[in-house]
């Protein structure tokens, strides 16, 4: 077990500015927290976090990562809490340890759906800070190294999970050495017989080929020196797992496998890499189809090398990787070599390749996730991961690179709400991969989504039916409810202004605020909404503001003349004045404007009575407590029901621009002869007059005739009349009338 001072000295050796006190504090804290806990091996538990820290010092990681490694199991396995870690080690380390605690609970050996969800959580945890994954990989590596002490089923499960999830992630990050060891250890526990056989065979082969690696190394070095190149040449035997995989994939024996040995030529510059290539290719015969230039076209994980295979010294096939020192480091240590794991901070490693294009871990992660899902190299990755599980997910990104995971079918609206509720509410448009796209479009993996917002926007209630995520849906519902409350407030204000003006008294919201508590409400706004909902009478508010005024007069009775079809019934209207359509507001019986009705979709909580109401005819509103205002044509027989509830009558007036294309609902009843094609002719007449049929019901069928109720949409009264007369002109139509309720 590494001693405390050894660990600290190791960190200081590569980072003289490391926080020594922090490392000591983390060491002591973790040791005390784990106390007498033991590992399966019988070792003190603390040996595990210490080993994990030691592994990470090999990657020369920063002090916060090393401290996190020491603390990584404290929240999960001891009395320690996140709050305590935060307090003692700061929020940064607190968040890292917390991230690891969360990952620890993820289980990849259960149901597919859960696996998918857990992988998503893993990606999210590492996308917030990639150091979480670095510690997790070291944690997994140490656990795999000590797997012999575990129970057999735990050995298999851990090995499978490592092979499926962690080894590919290490590979994706370019941490070749980590990946190789994780695979090797997994292989050992997953396929013990194959592992045993192969390692025995390899040992035999090694003895037979004794000195071969050294011999080839020497010849290569000498040949390059002749060409004036100083290079470091290293040979190695390939790992059992990668050999075994090739044997399985190609269905061949170990003897048939030619590339068991690989050689690496490391030089100082890119230029020299190509010199080496030239020298090697002029000296030895090349094996066709084995040349790859990953220097000019790096792999997704920044891996760079030239690959080639030649028939080398002793007619042995020699696989060569030619690269610079920096490339070599990146190939072995991947992300850790870049030191871009530190949020936004680039610790350049020197060398010819600028790491600036990978300046943030987000960009790296973005590409990682992209590649994970698009599978640019299926044979290397997809066969070894469980990514087919994630078909029901899409992974998208903010312009700053934040990963947003969404269910398949999600829209930019879902994305906006996932980023932040306020972004969702204010969302008016979206750019997907830099192009304007409709808000209803379906997002795809790797999409970069930029949400365009506007301060004036409230979410349309219809979005509730478009979005896929629960978060978006409930946020839209809440906003709709809030908007309704505002609408009732506006309606209440209109009612009160009307009432006060009618009684020749000034109306201000300050007055309302003053009497709010008297009315059992908290604020002026709290008074307005109940008035709008019809729960609080305008007269009551009036009396509270002007207690000394006479009670509002008993309403006068008025005779209303039917405008177009003779006399209608007498109707008492409590001080309500109607404006003829098209008249100026000042020309009415009084100076009060009714609540303007501009459209079926109003800012106010209004709806239309069953038979509809059409511009050009006079209308009244009836206040339905808790619902809003229902608009009736003044001729509607339904209005008789409200004769005794005059306080519910609301002055409303059309306010329609003549050029407005807005349509309003109307209901008509058509009696037509039962004969083939009659329905089609009726529909044709309605269509020709530029109207729509909303609904059509057969309501009565005699022997010869059918009564049908048709809901149509019309522009105004004239439009309706045109439709009615058109229908009356049809020979099979015996009767047509408008229905008002």
* Residues near Mn ion (CB under 5 A), total: 2
Specify the residue for token string 């003349």: 561
Specify the residue for token string 């008294």: 505
Is the Cβ of residue 104 or residue 509 nearer to Mn ion in the bound state? 104
Piece of the chain touching Mn ion by CB under 5 A; list 69-77, 173-181, 260-268, 409-417: 69-77
Q: Which two tokens stand for residue 282?
A: 């002029």
Piece of the chain touching Mn ion by CB under 5 A; list 135-143, 216-224, 381-389, 391-399: 135-143
* Inter-residue long-range contacts of 498-506, CB under 8 Å, 24+ positions, other chains counted: 498/538, 498/592, 498/594, 498/595, 498/651, 499/538, 499/539, 499/541, 499/542, 499/552, 500/542, 500/545, 501/591, 501/592, 502/575, 502/590, 502/592, 503/542, 503/549, 503/552, 505/542, 505/545, 505/546, 505/549
CB of 48 to Mn ion, least distance (A): 6
Is the Cβ of residue 99 or residue 621 nearer to Mn ion in the bound state? 99
CB of 441 to Mn ion, least distance (A): 43
Specify the residue for token string 């990946």: 179
d(CA 441, CA 436): 11
CB of 306 to Mn ion, least distance (A): 39
Q: Under a CB-based contact definition with an 8 Å cutoff, are residues 129 and 96 in contact? A: yes
Q: Under a CB-based contact definition with an 8 Å cutoff, are residues 381 and 370 in contact? A: no
Catalytic: 268?
no
Q: Which of residues 180-219 bind Mn ion (CB under 5 A)?
A: none
d(CA 335, CA 358): 10
CB of 123 to Mn ion, least distance (A): 20
CB of 73 to Mn ion, least distance (A): 4
Is the Cβ of residue 73 or residue 329 nearer to Mn ion in the bound state? 73
Q: Does 51 bind Mn ion (CB under 5 A)?
A: no
Q: Does 450 bind Mn ion (CB under 5 A)?
A: no
CB of 249 to Mn ion, least distance (A): 33
Is the Cβ of residue 30 or residue 368 nearer to Mn ion in the bound state? 30
Catalytic: 77?
yes
Is the Cβ of residue 78 or residue 258 nearer to Mn ion in the bound state? 78
* Contacts with 220 (C-beta within 8 Å, 6 or more apart), sequence order: 231, 233, 263, 265, 280, 312, 313, 318
CB of 104 to Mn ion, least distance (A): 7
d(CA 113, CA 103): 17
Is the Cβ of residue 148 or residue 518 nearer to Mn ion in the bound state? 148
Q: Which of residues 304-343 bind Mn ion (CB under 5 A)?
A: none
Per-residue x/- track, 354-383, Mn ion (CB under 5 A): ------------------------------
CB of 51 to Mn ion, least distance (A): 9
CB of 46 to Mn ion, least distance (A): 11
Exactly one of 43, 76, 259, 358 is catalytic; name it.
Answer: 76
Exactly one of 15, 19, 43, 77 is catalytic; name it.
Answer: 77
d(CA 633, CA 528): 27
Piece of the chain touching Mn ion by CB under 5 A; list 71-79, 160-168, 327-335, 705-713: 71-79
Q: Which two tokens stand for residue 171?
A: 């590979």
Pairing of strands 317-324, 628-633: unpaired
User: Exposed, middle or buried by CB within 10 Å (0-12, 13-18, 19+), for 677?
Assistant: exposed
CB of 372 to Mn ion, least distance (A): 24
Specify the residue for token string 């998208």: 396
Q: Does 73 bind Mn ion (CB under 5 A)?
A: yes
Binder of Mn ion out of 51, 60, 62, 139 (CB under 5 A): 139
Task: Provide DSSP, 518-531.
Answer: GGT-SSHHHHHHHH
Burial of 128-162, coded b for 16+ CB within 10 Å and e otherwise, reads bbbbbbbbbbbbbbbbbebbeebeeeebbbbbebb
* Contacts with 414 (C-beta within 8 Å, 6 or more apart), sequence order: 406, 407, 443, 467, 468, 469, 471, 472
Piece of the chain touching Mn ion by CB under 5 A; list 68-76, 269-277, 625-633, 682-690: 68-76
Piece of the chain touching Mn ion by CB under 5 A; list 11-19, 70-78, 487-495, 584-592: 70-78
Burial of 513-525, coded b for 16+ CB within 10 Å and e otherwise, reads bebbeebebeebb
How many other β-carbons are positioned within 10 Å of the β-carbon of residue 56? 25
Piece of the chain touching Mn ion by CB under 5 A; list 30-38, 73-81, 394-402, 712-720: 73-81
Specify the residue for token string 């009307």: 498
Is the Cβ of residue 133 or residue 430 nearer to Mn ion in the bound state? 133
DSSP 741: -
Is the Cβ of residue 73 or residue 450 nearer to Mn ion in the bound state? 73
Piece of the chain touching Mn ion by CB under 5 A; list 137-145, 431-439, 534-542, 717-725: 137-145
Is the Cβ of residue 139 or residue 181 nearer to Mn ion in the bound state? 139
Is the Cβ of residue 139 or residue 716 nearer to Mn ion in the bound state? 139
Is the Cβ of residue 73 or residue 328 nearer to Mn ion in the bound state? 73
Q: Taking each helix axis from N to C terminus, what angle separates 470-502 and 538-545, rounded to the nearest 10 degrees?
A: 60
CB-based closest residue to Mn ion? 139
Specify the residue for token string 């170990």: 254
CB of 147 to Mn ion, least distance (A): 13
d(CA 350, CA 317): 34
Specify the residue for token string 């609408």: 487
Q: Which residues does the annotation mark as catalytic?
A: 76-77
Binding site for Mn ion (CB under 5 A): 73, 139
């Amino acid at each position: 077990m590494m001693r405390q001072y050894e660990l600290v000295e190791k960190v200081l050796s590569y980072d003289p500015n490391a926080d020594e006190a922090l490392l000591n504090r983390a060491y002591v804290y973790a040791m005390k927290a784990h106390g007498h806990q033991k590992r399966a091996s019988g070792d003190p538990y603390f040996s595990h976090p210490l080993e994990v820290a030691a592994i990470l010092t090999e990657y020369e990681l920063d002090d916060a990562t090393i401290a996190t490694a020491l603390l990584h199991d404290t929240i999960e396995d001891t009395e320690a809490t996140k709050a305590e870690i935060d307090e003692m080690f700061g929020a940064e380390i607190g968040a890292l340890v917390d991230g690891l605690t969360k990952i620890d609970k993820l289980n990849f050996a259960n149901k597919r759906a859960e696996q998918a969800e857990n992988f998503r959580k893993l990606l999210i945890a590492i996308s917030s800070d990639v150091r979480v994954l670095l510690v997790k990989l070291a944690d997994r590596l140490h656990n795999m190294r000590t797997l012999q002490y575990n129970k057999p089923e735990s050995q298999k499960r851990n090995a499978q999970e490592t092979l499926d999830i962690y080894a590919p992630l290490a590979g994706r990050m370019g941490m070749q050495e980590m990946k190789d060891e994780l695979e090797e250890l997994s292989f050992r526990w997953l396929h013990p017989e194959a592992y045993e056989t192969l390692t025995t065979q390899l040992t035999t082969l090694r003895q037979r080929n004794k000195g071969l690696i050294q011999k080839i190394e020497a010849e290569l070095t000498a040949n390059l020196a002749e060409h004036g190149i100083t290079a470091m040449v290293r040979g190695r035997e390939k790992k059992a797992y990668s050999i075994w995989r090739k044997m399985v994939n190609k269905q061949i024996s170990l003897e048939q496998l030619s590339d068991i040995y690989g050689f690496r030529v490391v030089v100082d510059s890119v230029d020299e890499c190509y010199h080496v290539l030239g020298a090697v290719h002029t000296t030895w015969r090349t094996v066709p189809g084995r040349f790859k230039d990953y220097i000019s076209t790096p792999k997704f994980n920044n891996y760079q090398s030239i690959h080639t295979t030649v028939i080398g010294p002793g007619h042995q096939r020699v696989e060569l990787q030619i690269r610079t020192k920096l490339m070599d480091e990146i190939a072995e240590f991947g992300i850790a070599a870049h030191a871009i794991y530190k949020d936004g901070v680039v610790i350049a490693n020197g060398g010819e390749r600028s790491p600036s294009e990978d300046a943030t871990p987000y960009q790296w992660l973005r590409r990682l996730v992209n590649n994970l899902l698009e599978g640019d190299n299926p044979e290397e990755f997809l066969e070894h991961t469980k990514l087919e599980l994630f078909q029901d997910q899409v992974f998208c990104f903010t312009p700053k690179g934040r990963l947003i995971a969404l269910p398949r079918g999600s829209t930019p609206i879902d994305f906006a709400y996932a980023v932040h509720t306020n972004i969702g509410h204010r969302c008016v448009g979206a750019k997907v991969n830099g192009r304007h796209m409709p808000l209803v479009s379906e997002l795809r993996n790797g999409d970069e989504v930029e949400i365009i917002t506007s301060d004036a926007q409230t979410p349309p209630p219809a979005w509730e039916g478009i979005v896929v995520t629960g978060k978006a849906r409930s946020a839209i519902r809440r906003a709709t409810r809030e908007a309704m409350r505002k609408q009732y407030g506006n309606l209440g204000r209109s009612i009160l202004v009307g009432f006060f003006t009618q009684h020749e008294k000034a109306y201000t919201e300050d007055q309302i605020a003053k009497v709010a508590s008297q009315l059992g409400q908290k604020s002026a706004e709290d008074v307005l909404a109940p008035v709008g909902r019809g729960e609080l009478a305008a007269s009551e508010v009036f009396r509270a503001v002007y207690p000394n005024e006479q009670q509002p007069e008993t309403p006068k009775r008025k005779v209303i003349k039917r405008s177009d079809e003779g006399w209608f019934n007498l109707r008492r209207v409590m001080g309500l004045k109607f404006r003829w359509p098209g008249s100026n507001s000042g020309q009415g019986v009084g100076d009060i404007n009714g609540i303007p009705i501009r459209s079926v979709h109003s800012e106010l909580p209004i709806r239309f009575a069953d038979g509809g109401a059409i511009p050009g005819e006079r209308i009244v509103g009836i206040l339905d407590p808790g619902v809003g205002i229902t608009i009736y044509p003044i001729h509607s027989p339904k209005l008789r029901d409200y004769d005794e509830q005059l306080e519910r009558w609301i002055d409303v007036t059309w306010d329609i621009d003549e050029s407005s294309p807005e349509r309003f609902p109307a209901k008509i009843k058509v009696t037509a002869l039962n004969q083939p094609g009659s329905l089609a002719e009726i529909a044709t007449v309605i269509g020709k007059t530029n109207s729509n049929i909303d609904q059509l019901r057969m309501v009565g069928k005699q022997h010869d005739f059918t009564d049908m109720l048709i809901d149509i949409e019309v522009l105004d009264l004239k439009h309706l009349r045109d439709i009615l007369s058109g229908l009356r002109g049809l020979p099979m139509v015996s009767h047509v009338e408008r229905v008002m309720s």
